[in-house]
Structures are given as structure tokens and as C-alpha cells.
Amino acid sequence: MADIATPEFLKELQSLYPATAKYVDGDWFLAAGVAFSSSNCPEAVPRVLRYALDDLDKLSVTSYEDRKLLVRKMRDGIFKSGMLSGCPKAINALVSLYEATPEDLRDTEPLRDSTRSNEEDAAVGQAYFNSTFGDPATKIQSVLRSIYPDLEHFTMSIGCGYVDSFTEVISIKETTFATISAMIANATLSRLEWHLTRAVDHGATVEEVRAVREIALRIAIKAGVPLKIEVPNI
């Protein structure tokens, strides 16, 4: 499937996202990387990386820190999306991303605090869950507990506590972008409209949200993802 990520198609995807003052703030590459991963096209992920890094290098003012952040944003977005698209897809995409990443831009130590206790992760996760879901958080958590208590524990301690609450690379807004991209590329659309709106609550503009939706949708269509219902919009 790597051939779908042509330079022309990537340029098209990039053009959908509103212009930003800093290249690394333009989350088209984050959305594209997650959508390709979740569409089971890991071979396309390195092409997004190389295109974005080359594009960044064309700017008159760029830095090692910007290049490092760009790679980290793609990596962490795909890592977080594995909660929705499945670990095998995320692992395959991360392997492809690693192989295409210049050695000086690779991380060799965890970015998250791996020494925290399960209780600490659960507390952090609960706070993040409440902040992310707002007023419906209590009801959603109750549903998780009812359908499978283990799922509630996993969501609070691991999903939210260890994985998603880490926002030093991608913010809550950008984490929501990763969620939107993964949901479209997975064709799991029942809660998508809510997440589109929630992205605005977390600081995204309507134009940014629509761009992320469109990027993921175009990738899903190219990848042959069976979208059985119309993809909601904001």
C-alpha cells in the first residue's frame, strides 16, 4: 500500500490543514501518520515522515529541536492510536517509522515516567479522563465498569494514566486529532461526532478539525477501508 502515499497525495493532504506560524504546529503529518497506521498501511508512514522532514528543511529557519519534535509527534500519535486501532497496527507502523528515522532523531529512553506506581497512574488517568470527557465522564466510566470492570481499570491506569495523559509531545488537542484519525481509518464512527466537537473544546479551531477529518477520510478511502455509514462532520 506504500504506493498510495505519493508525493502528490501527501501534498494534497498537507494543503488541507490551515497554515501555521511554525511547521511543526501544522498537524497534518500527525493525522496522516495515524490514519495510515490505522488503515493498516504501515509502509506509507515513512513516506509521510520523509516528506515532512524534507519540507521542514526547506524553511529558512529550522532547528534540530523542530525535527526532533516532528518525529516525536508522529511516533507518539501512532503510539496513542494503538489504543483504538490495535497494537499490531501501531507496532508495524512504529517499526516502519523507526527504520526511516535518522539515527540522531531516535529516542533511546522512555519519555513517560515508567517508575510511577499503578495507583499513581490511576490517579493521573482519572484526572485526565475527567478533563478529556467533561460532564459525561462519570456516565462513560460507569458504562466501562458495567460492561467489564477490567476495562475500566485498564482505561484509567494504562490507557489514560500511562499513555494518553502524557502531553509533553502531543497536547490534549492533538491527542484528540489522533483519536479522530484512528476512528475514521478504523471505520468505528459511532462516537466520532462527539470527538470532533470535543477537539474544539480542547482548543482546536473548526477548520483544523475539519482538516484532520478530511485527511483521515481521504487516506481511508485510498486504503480501501469499508466505510459503511457516512462519516460525521462538525
Give pTM, 2 decimals.
Answer: 0.95
Encode 134-156 in three state secondary structure.
CCCHHHHHHHHHHHCHHHHHHHH
Give residue-wise pLDDT tens across range 161-189: 999 999 999 999 999 999 999 999 999 99
Question: 225 — phi, psi (to 5°)?
Answer: -70, 130
Residue 1 reports pLDDT greater than 70: no
51 and 120 assigned to the same domain: no
With a CB cutoff of 8 Å and minimum separation 6, the contacts of 169 are 69, 72, 73, 75, 76, 111
Q: Is residue 229 part of a domain?
A: no
Give residue-wise pLDDT tens across range 189-213: 988 999 999 999 999 999 999 999 9
Cell, residue 55: 519540507
DSSP H or E stretch at residue 66 = helix 64-85
Q: What is the number of domains present in the chain? A: 2
- Which of these, 171, 228, 205, lies nearest to 213 by C-alpha position? 205
184 and 150 assigned to the same domain: no
Residue 5 reports pLDDT greater than 70: yes
Domain of residue 93: give its range. 2-111+170-223
Q: Cα 53 to the chain's mean position, in Å?
A: 18
14 and 60 assigned to the same domain: yes
Contact between 125 and 165 (Cβ < 8 Å): yes
Q: Is residue 130 part of a domain?
A: yes
90 and 194 assigned to the same domain: yes
119 and 100 assigned to the same domain: no
26 and 122 assigned to the same domain: no
Gap between the Cα atoms of 44 and 201, Å rounded: 31
Give residue-wise pLDDT tens across range 98-142: 999 999 999 999 999 999 999 999 999 999 999 988 889 999 999
Share of the chain above pLDDT 90, in %: 91
Rounded to the nearest 10 degrees, how much is the dihedral formed by the CA atoms of 197, 198, 203, 208? -50
215 and 119 assigned to the same domain: no
Q: What per-residue confidence (pLDDT) applies to 44?
A: 97
Residue 60 reports pLDDT greater than 70: no
Share of the chain above pLDDT 70, in %: 99
Q: Is residue 175 part of a domain?
A: yes
Residue 61 reports pLDDT greater than 80: no
